[in-house]
């Protein structure tokens, strides 16, 4: 075994809200190493706009937040998990505030609570329209000031280390697989090293880039889910991909700029090009219906009318309120010649959030020993078939705290693994491969967007699977003969995540939550194969 191998007590993959908050919880109990593949603050967290849901004042109550979460989840949430997360929310908000995150208050000094689709009360704490940026700022500042935490940025986790790397045969039914750490590619030097850890937290976020249009930044490539699946860990609920109804319509611009649902909470309404408030035809909650319903309705309107986008009408929101509460959205719109005080904002749905992921229990433990997961890469049971808006930052905080308690309690009883080989260097750099990687990325995004989007069918899913299998074969060949690179690893991970989404979607023989198939219409709805929806 290489004597130079780095050894840490707590290893964390990812520096979003899940990874950072976990680091702060465990740091007094051992040596912490956080690896993150890009700049330290680059994450989905940084771009969160609307805020974080928690019950703070009456007339709101835990019961109402639980009810709204269960309704949005379309009968697939794990009710015990929902109750637990919502009950622990106020304590986790206190943590965030103690770490220095600032939330907007009104003139009376109470939190200025926002509202989003599917919420029956105003319960969303926010910092203007850039809540995630504020949370990420505060947490990174805290992490920097802790002597036990080392952050390795521009380090890419390639594979988690298990018995497999010690040359032991494991199959899916093996009673126990252990996580001993990860192989990490330093993207500045091109060198790959093993980092051994007593416990590892996967906090690698979402996978929005598996679709052609997403609100997620480039880092969201499903690496954690792919690594865990390859290591024979369990994943679940992958068919439930959330499309945000209102991404700014700006063809060719990636990531798509989000137009927060909080604007609809403040009175903005969706309109067709002809000015009709079409959402009222689909749901009595209109523009504030849960996201799956709104995104599907927009998709349908676009297919039926042939239009490129629908519009968000914010003109009835007071000008000063727009300026003070949504300054970033206002600035972005003005920068492209749209004045939301007078003009409608063109919007389209875009891939936004992965509800499924690595299966974890109530302590964030995955099916692989000493590997936990929290945040968007984890499937906890909170979201069921469709996540309620602003419940994900909350879920990440609650599960990171629970995982930290478990890890702290175990840490002294875990030893480092031995006989871990160095990364098997293979392949040669070939510039030609770069072109193939870029093209293959576009192909997978096209396959997923065309056949596995908001509205699916058996035929579309089969077609997607057939095409993905070709891409998979080609990419695995390339992986075997080429020098390791982030772009190739990400492509490989996206193909695997795409496969998991398709596989789960094919297994679900019904329309539920975010998974909608024209072959299994919901009772009371007739979905025409042209894509037009009639409700009865
Ligand atoms: P992230 O914040 O995405 O962090 C993942 C980290 O893992 C990153 O640092 C990344 O670089 C790193 N990483 C990934 N792969 C690797 C690898 N192979 N090796 C090393 N590092 C790796 N949710 C809400 O609750 N409220 C909102 O208002 C809200 N608004 C949103 C707005 C936008 C535009 C987006 C995109 C999402 C929004 N969400 C919102 C969702 C929410 O932001 C995310 O679900 C949440 O921030 C995820 O946190 P995380 O820590 O799990 O992952
Ligand atoms: C938004 O601000 O609309 C996004 C909120 C979320 O994804 O939870």
- 282 touches ligand 1 (CB under 6 Å): no
Q: Is residue 217 part of a domain?
A: yes
Please tell me whether residues 365 and 337 are part of one structural domain: no
Please tell me whether residues 97 and 31 are part of one structural domain: yes
pLDDT given for residue 175 in this prediction: 65
Asked whether residue 322 carries a pLDDT value surpassing 80, the answer given is: yes
Asked whether residue 529 carries a pLDDT value surpassing 70, the answer given is: no
**Pocket residue to mutate for ligand 2, from 116, 255, 329, most atoms within 8 A of Cβ:** 116
Q: Give the whole-angstrom CA distance, residue 135 versus residue 332.
A: 21
pLDDT given for residue 173 in this prediction: 61
Each residue's pLDDT tens digit, 96-151? 999 999 999 999 999 999 999 999 999 999 999 999 999 999 999 999 999 999 99
In the chain, the percentage of residues whose pLDDT exceeds 70 is 95
- 17 touches ligand 1 (CB under 6 Å): yes
Asked whether residue 389 carries a pLDDT value surpassing 60, the answer given is: yes
- 375 touches ligand 1 (CB under 6 Å): yes
Question: Helix axis angle, 131-144 relative to 17-26, nearest 10°?
Answer: 30
Asked whether residue 444 carries a pLDDT value surpassing 90, the answer given is: yes
pLDDT given for residue 424 in this prediction: 81
Length of the chain: 536
Atom of ligand 1 nearest to the CA of 44: 3
Residue among 273, 291, 274, 509 nearest 282 (CA)? 291
Q: Is residue 531 part of a domain?
A: no
Other beta carbons within 10 angstroms of residue 302's beta carbon come to: 17
Please tell me whether residues 175 and 317 are part of one structural domain: no
Q: In degrees to the nearest 10, what's the CA dihedral of 397, 211, 514, 247?
A: 80
Task: Among the bound ligands, name the one nearest to the CA of residue 388.
Answer: 2
Asked which of 322, 349, 376 is the last residue of a domain, the reply is: 349
Q: Is residue 523 part of a domain?
A: no
User: Residue 257 maps to which CATH number?
Assistant: 3.90.700.10
CA distances from 334 to 65, 252, 314, 329, 503 (A): 35, 19, 14, 8, 42
Give me the domain span that covers residue 494: 431-517
Please tell me whether residues 254 and 132 are part of one structural domain: no
Each residue's pLDDT tens digit, 69-88? 999 999 999 999 999 999 99
pLDDT given for residue 170 in this prediction: 67
Asked whether residue 210 carries a pLDDT value surpassing 90, the answer given is: yes
Please tell me whether residues 292 and 207 are part of one structural domain: no
Residue among 396, 35, 385, 449 nearest 254 (CA)? 449
Is 387 labeled as catalytic in the residue annotation?
no
Where does the pLDDT of residue 523 fall: very low under 50, low under 70, confident under 90, or very high at 90 and above?
A: confident
Please tell me whether residues 305 and 397 are part of one structural domain: no
295-312: average pLDDT: 96
Q: Is residue 150 part of a domain?
A: yes
Q: Is residue 423 part of a domain?
A: no
Residue 281 Cα to ligand 1 midpoint, Å, equals 34
pTM, to two decimals = 0.96
Where does the pLDDT of residue 370 fall: very low under 50, low under 70, confident under 90, or very high at 90 and above?
A: very high
Where does the pLDDT of residue 242 fall: very low under 50, low under 70, confident under 90, or very high at 90 and above?
A: very high
Q: Is residue 532 part of a domain?
A: no
Please tell me whether residues 329 and 372 are part of one structural domain: no
Task: Among the bound ligands, name the one nearest to the CA of residue 216.
Answer: 1
pLDDT given for residue 531 in this prediction: 37
- 35 touches ligand 1 (CB under 6 Å): yes
pLDDT given for residue 508 in this prediction: 98
Please tell me whether residues 105 and 236 are part of one structural domain: yes
Residue 116 Cα to ligand 1 midpoint, Å, equals 19
Please tell me whether residues 261 and 219 are part of one structural domain: no
Nearest C-alpha to atom 53 of ligand 1 is from which residue?
Answer: 205
One of 92, 123, 264, 291 is an active-site residue; which one?
A: 291
Q: Is residue 91 part of a domain?
A: yes
419-437: average pLDDT: 81
- 50 touches ligand 1 (CB under 6 Å): yes
pLDDT given for residue 348 in this prediction: 98
Please tell me whether residues 230 and 362 are part of one structural domain: yes
Is the bond leading into 381 cis (omega within 30 degrees of zero)? Answer: no
Task: Among the bound ligands, name the one nearest to the CA of residue 399.
Answer: 1
Please tell me whether residues 17 and 102 are part of one structural domain: yes
Asked which of 349, 365, 389 is the last residue of a domain, the reply is: 349
**Pocket residue to mutate for ligand 1, from 326, 393, 396, most atoms within 8 A of Cβ:** 393
* More confident call, 341 vs 433: 341
Mean pLDDT estimate for the chain: 94
Q: Give the whole-angstrom CA distance, residue 218 versus residue 133.
A: 16
**Pocket residue to mutate for ligand 2, from 241, 389, 395, most atoms within 8 A of Cβ:** 389
User: Residue 442 maps to which CATH number?
Assistant: 1.20.58.100
Number of domains making up the chain: 3
Nearest C-alpha to atom 31 of ligand 1 is from which residue?
Answer: 48
User: Residue 379 maps to which CATH number?
Assistant: 3.50.50.60
Please tell me whether residues 166 and 304 are part of one structural domain: no
Asked whether residue 267 carries a pLDDT value surpassing 90, the answer given is: yes
Q: Is residue 235 part of a domain?
A: yes
Asked which of 349, 378, 394 is the last residue of a domain, the reply is: 349
- 265 touches ligand 1 (CB under 6 Å): no
Asked whether residue 319 carries a pLDDT value surpassing 80, the answer given is: yes
Atom of ligand 1 nearest to the CA of 392: 25
């Amino acid at each position: 075994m290489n004597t130079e191998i780095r050894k840490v007590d707590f290893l964390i993959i990812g520096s979003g809200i899940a990874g950072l908050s976990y680091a702060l919880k465990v740091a007094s109990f051992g040596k912490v190493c956080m690896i993150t593949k890009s700049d330290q603050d680059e994450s989905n967290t940084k771009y969160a706009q609307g805020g974080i849901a928690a019950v703070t004042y009456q007339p709101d109550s835990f019961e109402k937040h639980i009810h709204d979460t269960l309704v949005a989840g379309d009968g697939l949430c794990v009710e015990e998990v929902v109750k637990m997360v919502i009950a622990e929310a106020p304590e986790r908000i206190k943590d965030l505030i103690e770490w220095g995150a600032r939330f907007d208050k009104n003139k009376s000094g109470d939190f200025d609570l926002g509202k989003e689709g599917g919420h029956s009360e105003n319960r969303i704490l926010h910092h203007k329209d850039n809540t995630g940026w504020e949370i990420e700022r505060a947490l990174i500042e805290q992490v920097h000031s802790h002597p036990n935490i080392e952050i390795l940025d521009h380090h890419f986790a390639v594979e988690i280390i298990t018995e497999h790397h010690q040359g032991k045969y494991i199959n899916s039914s093996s009673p126990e697989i252990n996580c001993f750490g990860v192989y990490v590619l330093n993207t500045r030097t091109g060198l790959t090293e093993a980092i051994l850890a007593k416990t590892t937290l996967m906090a690698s976020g979402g996978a929005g880039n598996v679709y052609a249009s997403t609100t997620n930044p480039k880092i969201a490539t499903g690496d954690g889910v792919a690594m865990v699946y390859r290591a024979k860990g369990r994943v679940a609920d992958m068919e439930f991909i959330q499309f945000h109804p209102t991404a700014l319509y700006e063809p060719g611009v990636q990531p798509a700029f989000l137009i927060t649902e909080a604007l609809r909470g403040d009175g903005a309404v969706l309109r067709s090009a002809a000015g009709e408030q079409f959402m009222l035809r689909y749901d009595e909650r209109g523009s504030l219906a849960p996201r799956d319903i709104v995104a599907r309705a927009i998709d349908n309107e676009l297919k039926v009318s042939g239009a490129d986008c629908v519009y968000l009408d914010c003109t009835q929101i007071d000008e000063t309120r727009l300026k003070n509460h949504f300054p970033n959205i206002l600035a972005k719109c003005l920068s492209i010649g749209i004045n939301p005080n007078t003009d409608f904002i063109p919007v389209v749905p875009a891939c936004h959030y992965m509800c499924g992921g690595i299966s974890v229990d109530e302590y964030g433990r995955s099916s692989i020993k000493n590997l936990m997961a929290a945040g968007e890469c984890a499937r906890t049971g909170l979201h069921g078939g469709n996540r309620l808006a602003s419940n994900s930052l909350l879920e990440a905080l609650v599960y990171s705290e629970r995982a930290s308690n478990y890890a702290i309690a175990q840490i002294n009883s875990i030893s480092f693994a031995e006989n871990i080989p160095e990364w098997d260097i293979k392949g040669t750099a070939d510039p030609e491969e770069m072109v193939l990687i870029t093209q293959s990325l576009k192909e997978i995004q096209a396959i997923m967007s065309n056949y596995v989007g908001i509205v699916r069918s058996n035929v579309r899913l089969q077609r997607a699977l057939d095409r993905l299998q070709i891409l998979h074969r080609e990419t695995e060949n390339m992986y075997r003969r080429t020098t390791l690179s982030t772009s190739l690893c990400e492509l490989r991970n996206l193909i695997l995540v795409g496969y998991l989404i398709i596989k789960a979607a094919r297994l679900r023989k019904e329309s539920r939550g975010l998974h909608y198939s024209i072959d299994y219409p919901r009772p009371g709805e007739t979905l025409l194969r042209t894509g037009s929806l009639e409700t009865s």
